[in-house]
């Protein structure tokens, strides 16, 4: 019988995709354990690799609980929830998965943007509440409200990486002018560059956030940036929830200083503030922009290749520390 190495998976994922990993390795499911501490203690002498998501915190205590751990494989581009310094100090390699879902995230970002800007969710609720027949028959005193046009607007992109580039290509198809803010201008991009998020917000009608998380981008979109967009502004976040000052966002969506928002990521997710859930002008989705069957299969392929390379003593494909 061929020896199988032990992998610890930290998050509940699609069974068909997880089955790809289980063909080669013994996969232990942390989310199924009632006592996670005891569960990890039982794996301390066997687990050499961890398979994790972008929202699971992997800190020093987690690593110390698995003394045989050699590699942490993140299932996504972001790795801000992994303590890279602690990993490096213990000789643990960290990998991510980049560029497998950029197009999928960009598609979703445009969907959130259209839905938020045109008020699609309230329109769905309008129909489901039974108000449409009364509206058409003229018996409802409040007509369904007009919404602003979508195409031809100015779109700002915060973070011009692979996802930002894909969003820009889609925006051009909607006859939009595109501007962006990045740590520095890109020589391969012809769109207008703005030196700060505030300057970008003052220029644009719509703002799509596609930047990575971490301390360097925490609250990069603050109250001043949101105010600069004005009462017709729409913000979409497919980056990290921490990039937006969430309380400032809630306040401006509540009092009309900002038109709408589309959020695939939330600061503190999966917990969502009750006030945010109450707002009619917000579209919230469960951090699923990049999760399609095709992107998941491509990502799993990279994860497996990294694990195989680590166990074979070969260079990794996407090491980040």
Tokens of 311: 């166990």
Would you say 18 and 296 are in contact if contact means Cβ atoms under 8 Å apart? no
* Active-site residue, from 81, 153, 170, 240: 240
Q: Is 240 a catalytic residue?
A: yes
CA dihedral 7, 10, 11, 17 (to 10 degrees): -10
d(CA 1, CA 207): 55
* Active-site residue, from 269, 297, 305, 308: 269
Q: Is 287 a catalytic residue?
A: yes
Q: So which residues are the catalytic ones?
A: 240, 269, 287
């Amino acid at each position: 019988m061929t020896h199988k190495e032990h992998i610890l998976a930290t998050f509940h994922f699609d069974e068909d995709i997880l089955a790809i990993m289980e063909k080669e390795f013994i996969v232990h499911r942390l989310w199924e354990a009632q006592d996670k501490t005891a569960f990890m203690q039982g794996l301390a002498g066997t687990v050499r690799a961890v398979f994790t998501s972008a929202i699971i915190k992997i800190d020093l205590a987690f690593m110390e609980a698995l003394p045989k751990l050699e590699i942490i494989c993140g299932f996504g581009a972001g790795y801000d929830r992994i303590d890279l310094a602690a990993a490096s100090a213990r000789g643990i390699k960290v990998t991510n998965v980049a560029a497998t879902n950029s197009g999928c995230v960009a598609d979703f970002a445009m969907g959130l943007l259209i839905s938020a800007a045109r008020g699609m969710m309230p329109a769905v609720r309008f129909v489901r509440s039974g108000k449409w027949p009364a509206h058409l028959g003229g018996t409802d005193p409040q007509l369904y409200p007009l919404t602003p046009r979508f195409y031809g607007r100015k779109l700002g992109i915060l973070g011009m990486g692979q996802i930002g580039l894909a969003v820009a290509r889609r925006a051009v198809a909607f006859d939009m002018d595109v501007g962006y803010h990045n740590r520095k201008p890109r020589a391969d991009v012809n769109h207008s560059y703005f030196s700060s998020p505030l300057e970008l917000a003052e220029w644009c009608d719509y703002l799509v956030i596609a930047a990575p998380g971490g301390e360097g981008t925490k609250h990069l979109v603050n109250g001043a940036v949101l105010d600069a967009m004005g009462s017709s502004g729409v913000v979409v976040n497919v980056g990290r929830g921490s990039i937006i000052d969430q309380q400032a966002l809630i306040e401006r969506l509540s009092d009309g200083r900002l038109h709408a928002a589309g959020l695939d990521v939330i600061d503190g997710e999966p917990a969502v503030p009750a006030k945010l859930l109450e707002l009619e002008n917000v579209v919230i989705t469960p951090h699923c922009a990049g999760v399609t069957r095709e992107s998941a299969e491509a990502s799993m392929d990279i994860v497996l290749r990294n694990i195989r390379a680590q166990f074979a003593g070969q260079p990794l494909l996407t090491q980040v520390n």
